[in-house]
Structure 1
Amino acid sequence: MKMFQSLAISGSGMTAQRMWLDLISNNIANVNTTRTREGGPYQRQVPVFAQRLESALQGSFQGAGVDVTRVTRDQSPPRMEHDPEHPDADANGFVSYPNVDLNKEFVNLITASRAYEANAAAFESAKQMALRALEIGR
C-alpha cells in the first residue's frame, strides 16, 4: 500500500459525498419545478457510485476509493396533483410535479453528510499518522 493511499481514498470519499450532497440540494431546490427545457416536470437525480480498483502485483485488485461514475434520473412517475388554475395543468386539471420526496431527500442529506464527516475524520487521522511517522525519522 502506498504511503498516502489512505489520504487519497478518504479524499475520493469526500469528493463523492460532496457530489451527492450537490445532487440532493438540486433535487430539493426543484421540488416544485413543473416545466423543464426538456418538457415535463423535473426528474430526481441520483448518483451511481463505483469502487476504484488498483491492480496489485499478483494480479489481484485492491480498493482505491470511490467515484461517481454517472448521474441518472429517477424514472418513477411524477406526483400528480389536482390544480386546474395552474398554467401546466392538463385537460383534467392535474399538474405533474417532480418525483422528489422531501423526506427521502432529507434522509439522504443526513446520510451523505455523515459519510462526508467520517471520510474527513479518516483523512485527518491518516494525516496525523503520516506527520508522526515523519517526526520519527528526525
Structure 2
Amino acid sequence: MSDLYKSMQVSASGMRAQGTRLRIISENIANADSVAQEPGGAPYRRKMVSFGSELNRELGVEKVVVKDVLTDKSEFKREYLPGHPAADEDGYVLQPNVNSLIEMTDMREAQRSFEANLQAIQASKSMLQRTLEILQ
C-alpha cells in the first residue's frame, strides 16, 4: 500500500506544478495586450515555468517542483502608433512578446498533464479501496 501512497504523492506534486504553469499561462494571456504606460517603456514580458525534481527523503521518491518562473528574453514586437501615449520618439509602441497561439497550446498541454496526474491519483485511490475491501 505504501507504493500506492507514494504514487499518489508524486502525481499530486505534478498537479501542483501544472497548476502553477496554468496560472502563469493565464497571466500571459491576460497581459497579451499590456503595453507600457510611459513613452518608450517596456511592455509586459512573457513568463515561463521551469520544472525540477526534489527528493522526498521520507517517502523515498522524486517529486515534481516548480524550479523557477523565468521571463522570456525574446524581442518585443514594434507597432507604429504615433498618437499612442506609449509611443517612442519615432512613433513606435513596443508590444508584449506573448503569442496567444503558443500560450493556448501550452495551456492545453498543461491541462492534459494535470488530468493525467489526476487520473493516476484516482486509479491509486481505487486500488487502495479495493485492497481494503479484500482485507475486511
Confirm or deny a common fold (TM above 0.5).
Answer: yes
Give the gaps of 5 or more residues in structure 2. Answer: none
Task: Report deviation, 1:54.
Answer: 4.3
Distance in 2 separating the partners of 1:2 and 1:48: 29
Secondary structure of residue in 2 paired with 1:52 = strand
Q: Report the count of equivalent residues.
A: 132
Partner of 1:92: 90
Partner of 1:50: 52
Give the gaps of 5 or more residues in structure 1. Answer: 57-61
Task: Report deviation, 1:35.
Answer: 2.0
**Amino acid of the structure 2 residue aligned with 1:40:** A
Q: Which runs of 4+ in 1 moved over 2 A?
A: 52-56, 62-65
**Amino acid of the structure 2 residue aligned with 1:33:** S
Distance in 1 separating the partners of 2:16 and 2:7: 14
The answer to whether the 8 A contact 2:76-2:95 is kept is: yes
Matching of residues 70-89 of structure 1 within 5 Å: 70-89=68-87
Deviations 1:93-124 (A, max 9, x none): 11011110111001001100111111111110
Partner of 2:34: 33
**Amino acid of the structure 2 residue aligned with 1:75:** K
Distance in 1 separating the partners of 2:43 and 2:105: 23
Partner of 1:136: 134
Partner of 1:59: none
Identical counterparts, % of pairs: 38
TM-score using structure 1 length: 0.88
Task: Report deviation, 1:64.
Answer: 2.3
Distance in 1 separating the partners of 2:36 and 2:61: 42
TM-score using structure 2 length: 0.89
Task: Report deviation, 1:91.
Answer: 0.7
